[in-house]
Structure 1
Amino acid sequence: MHIHLLQHGPDYGPARLTDWLTSMGHSYTVFHLYDGELPPRPGDCDALIVLDGPEVLLNTPPVWYKAEDKLINRLLDSQKPLLGIGLGAHYIADALGAISALGIYPETGWHNVSLADESPFELPETFDAFMWHRYVFSLPDGALPLGGSAAAPLQGFSWDGGRVMGLLCHLEASQAGVKQLMGSQPVPEGRDDYTQADAEIFADPKRFDRLAPLLDRVLSQWLGHA
């Protein structure tokens, strides 16, 4: 399969996603929308991943958003797998009629996610994931929830039998990618109940390695609908 990835900022790369795609024999193309590249045509790929990006883009749509939103809607109307992470999940949720808004708390660092009783995701009942967000989204009509954390009760959703997925949490995060992000992007503002200092985030580097099998489960389940 050939996968297209839409990137929204230099510090919001695909991290482990491209390593996984390569290891599974898939090819991919990353479109750097923030750098002036145009979104691809829907017929040129077998699946689409919409990556994370600065949350300011939710309130200040970038010049490319109209074309990207059109592409997302075309994929929703197709039979092709569509995955959104962070900002990308917001964009897909919005296209499905859900609402994006400021959460009660910002959430950064490592937090535990508990699966919802009706969750279709093939993941452990509880697991740790990396978080970096202030905004949350509501559950789109017809979607099933992933589950939630203490700060964000909806950490993701599955729609159309799992062909379309959105993740607020980050299973693709790598230590190098998070260091780059934290070195250039401001920490989401708000109460610090669910934010972690740098030392706590990087205290156990193996935490990033433990994300790999979780990402494998989600991507395998997602592309299994192709």
Structure 2
Amino acid sequence: MHLHLLQHSPHHGPGRIVDWLTSMGHSHTVFHLHDGETPPSLADGDALILLDGPMDILDDARYPWLKRERKLIAKALDGNKPLLGIGMGAKMIAAELGATVGRGTYAEVGWHEVTLAPESPFDLPEQFTAFMWHRDVFALPDDALPLGGSLGSPVQGFAWDAGRALGLLCHFEVTHASVSELLANGEQPEGSEASPHAQPAASILADGRRFDRLAPLLDRLLSQWLRSAPA
């Protein structure tokens, strides 16, 4: 399969996703929308991944490519190709499905436990720790099944159309290097300094094994997702 990855910021990259795709024999192209690259045609790829980013998903005045990306998402949802959104990408999918997207009570930054929802279709442990980097959250779209929730965000993700479209607020793709870059160069989500769910940089990077434990979770998630692709 050939996958298109849409990147919205120089510091919110694909992380371990690229290595996983290569190891599984898939090819990919990363489109750097933040750097002026045009979003791809849906017909040119077999699946679409929307990465995270710091911008408001409706800030078309500052980021005119958002309008084109929303059209691409709408086409993907109407079609039959797998669609995965992470962070900002998940918020865009949720909004296109009619769900409310808005400011959460607290920012979530660092490592937080997620409890799988009883009706969750995700092939993941009943409890796991994932990386968080957000303040905005989304409601569960109509006809979608929930991933589960954390103390700070009750909806950490969703599966729609039998798992063909996935949205993840939490992150499985990050590595020690990618989070180090984010902490060094990316502005933290609004309200992080006062949030009980935001951890300092030293604590986030202290245990490298946390990043290693994300790898099998990412493998399970992506394998499950791509099984939804039409034969």
Q: Which residue of 1 aligns with 2:195?
A: 192
Q: CA RMSD in A?
A: 0.8
Q: Which residue of 1 aligns with 2:165?
A: 164
Mapped to 1, the partners of 2:134 and 2:160 lie a distance apart of: 22
SS in structure 2 of the partner of residue 213 of structure 1: helix
**Of 182-191 and 44-53, the range deviating more from structure 2:** 182-191
Q: Which residue of 1 aligns with 2:156?
A: 155
Mapped to 1, the partners of 2:129 and 2:25 lie a distance apart of: 28
Q: Which residue of 2 aligns with 1:40?
A: 40
1:59: how far off?
4.8
**Of 92-101 and 186-195, the range deviating more from structure 2:** 186-195
Letter in 2 for 1:225: S
Q: Which residue of 1 aligns with 2:105?
A: 104
Letter in 1 for 2:215: A
1:57: how far off?
2.6
Matched, 1:178 2:179: yes
On the 8 A contact 2:132/2:170 being kept in 1, the answer is yes
SS in structure 1 of the partner of residue 162 of structure 2: helix
Mapped to 2, the partners of 1:40 and 1:186 lie a distance apart of: 28
1:189: how far off?
2.5
Q: Which residue of 2 aligns with 1:207?
A: 210
1:68: how far off?
0.6
1:14: how far off?
0.3
Mapped to 2, the partners of 1:57 and 1:20 lie a distance apart of: 29
Q: Which residue of 1 aligns with 2:73?
A: 72
Mapped to 2, the partners of 1:131 and 1:223 lie a distance apart of: 24
Letter in 1 for 2:207: D
Q: Which residue of 1 aligns with 2:225?
A: 222
Mapped to 1, the partners of 2:218 and 2:69 lie a distance apart of: 25
Listed as ranges, the gaps of 5+ residues in structure 2 are: none
Q: C-alpha deviations, 1:42-83, integer Å up to 9, x for none?
A: 1000000000011x3335231101111111111101111000
Q: How does 1:15-34 map to 2 (within 5 A)?
A: 15-34=15-34
Letter in 2 for 1:17: I
Q: C-alpha deviations, 1:162-193, integer Å up to 9, x for none?
A: 00000000000111001111111222232320
On the 8 A contact 2:11/2:185 being kept in 1, the answer is yes
Q: Which residue of 1 aligns with 2:13?
A: 13
Mapped to 2, the partners of 1:59 and 1:195 lie a distance apart of: 25
Alpha-carbon spacing, 1:95–1:59, altered in 2? closer, same or farther (3 Å):
closer
Letter in 1 for 2:57: L
On the 8 A contact 2:109/2:197 being kept in 1, the answer is yes
Q: Which residue of 2 aligns with 1:50?
A: 50
Mapped to 2, the partners of 1:143 and 1:76 lie a distance apart of: 13
Listed as ranges, the gaps of 5+ residues in structure 1 are: none
Mapped to 2, the partners of 1:164 and 1:186 lie a distance apart of: 29
On the 8 A contact 2:172/2:218 being kept in 1, the answer is yes
Q: Which residue of 1 aligns with 2:134?
A: 133
Mapped to 2, the partners of 1:137 and 1:38 lie a distance apart of: 27
The size of the alignment, in residue pairs, is: 225
Letter in 2 for 1:103: G
